[in-house]
Structure 1
Amino acid sequence: MATYFADPYSSWQRGGNENRNGMIRRHPPKRTPVAPSMAREPQETIDETDNRPMRVLG
């Protein structure tokens, strides 16, 4: 897996990352207990985030 680290104090390199993190944070509310029966929910979040069209990519 390719890993990318932004340079310190280079906010323009983190814009897409912060946007994606914000989309992921909308799904489970804070302090939600994680139970084995919730195994499907993270995959749904991942699928929705990965399949969302991005303006940058056309």
Structure 2
Amino acid sequence: MKLSWIASFALIGTAIAIPAQQAAKLPSGAPCTKDGNMGICESNLCIQDVNASQGKCK
């Protein structure tokens, strides 16, 4: 019974988190990270150097 509650909360949390992440579209020239922590570029292309903490959307 406890497992079904945990699974339900995980499913609800995932359902809420996915649209929020998709809504964060960054314009061209905005700072970004390849892992998408700052949002996702409109062009889906973030240019980031290997040692840099962030890059720029193209």
TM-score over 0.5 (shorter chain): no
Question: What TM-score, normalized by structure 2, do the two folds share?
Answer: 0.31
Structure whose residues are more often strand by fraction: 2
Question: What TM-score, normalized by structure 1, do the two folds share?
Answer: 0.31
Structure whose residues are more often helix by fraction: 1
Higher Cα Rg: structure 1 or 2?
2
